[in-house]
Amino acid sequence: MARGIGLLGQKVGMTKVFDKDGRAVGATLVEATPLTVTRVRSVEADGYAAVQVAWRETAQPERHLAKAQSGAFAKAGLSAHRRLTEFRAHPVKESPAELAMGAKLTVALFKPGDRVDIQGTSKGKGFQGVVKRHGFRGGPDTHGSMSHRAPGSVGSSTDPGHTLRGLRMAGRMGDASAISLNLEVLQVDEPRHLLVVKGAVPGAIGSVVRITPTLKKRAPSAARLWVEVHDQEGAKTALKKPAVKK
């Protein structure tokens, strides 16, 4: 699980925004309503640093909640919420001790230019064959071939004499945990609790996603990399240039 204090949100859909150069960029809108802190875990008391949060109040009867959930809500003085989850704090960058029970986590955690990892549940596609599920090329379409999208041979000879475990075959596709890494936050709309993130996000419209600061280092753009190399070469040339005697 990615570490870092983040947010829970709901995927609104995709759109496009225009950057400062007028280029259209595909983006995803995520509605991240405020989270309420229900518990702060510390290394001394719990063995790890984390923040437990509740997301979106609901009218669900208490009898439908697990005892652990109802106890957590009661201790925090909250009514039932749709989700109760934890964010493991980054061991170097974050200190959850600064947060107190009842504090709110909003989209103000992020600002344009930040990089985030967004985890969700991918769209379910049902039972699919090997061509769609694993990208197999398939057999020939002409010359009397009767094997177009078949998986081909899956067995072995006498040794070992059985199909090997983990062989890529037809089966259920999608409806699994997926994560998009190192996405750029383009815009933050605090009044409407919206994040505009560059690129695609796992899941269908309306699905719940988990947003955390990215753990990957942002790679330099080609233009900035060229400038850095050019500056270094210029510095080397200046060092080699002989001093002019007066």
Taking residues 88-115, report their average pLDDT.
85
Within a domain: 160: no
Within a domain: 47: yes
SS3 string of 208-242? EEEEEECCCCCCCCHHHHHHHHHHHHHHHHHHHCC
- Tell me the pLDDT tens digit for each residue of 26-83: 999 999 999 999 999 988 899 999 999 999 988 888 888 899 888 998 888 899 999 9
User: How much is the pLDDT for 60?
Assistant: 84
Within a domain: 167: no
Mean pLDDT of the chain: 88
- Tell me the pLDDT tens digit for each residue of 151-192: 988 888 888 888 889 999 999 999 999 999 999 999 999 999
Q: Which residue has the higher pLDDT, 239 or 183?
A: 183
* Rounded (to 5) percent helix, strand, coil in the chain: 20, 35, 50
Within a domain: 80: yes
Predicted TM-score (pTM) of the model is: 0.79
Query: CA of 186: how far to CAs of 7, 17, 23, 29, 153, in Å?
Result: 16, 9, 13, 10, 48
Within a domain: 39: yes
Within a domain: 145: no
In 3-state terms, what secondary structure has residue 51? strand
DSSP string, 163-224: PPTT---SEEES-SEEEEEEEEEEEEETTTTEEEEES--SS-TT-EEEEEE--SPPPPPHHH
Domain count, the chain: 1
What domain range includes position 71? 7-124+178-240
User: How much is the pLDDT for 125?
Assistant: 96
Query: Which residue, among 32, 106, 34, 38, has the nearest Cα to 70 in the 3D structure?
Result: 38
Within a domain: 14: yes
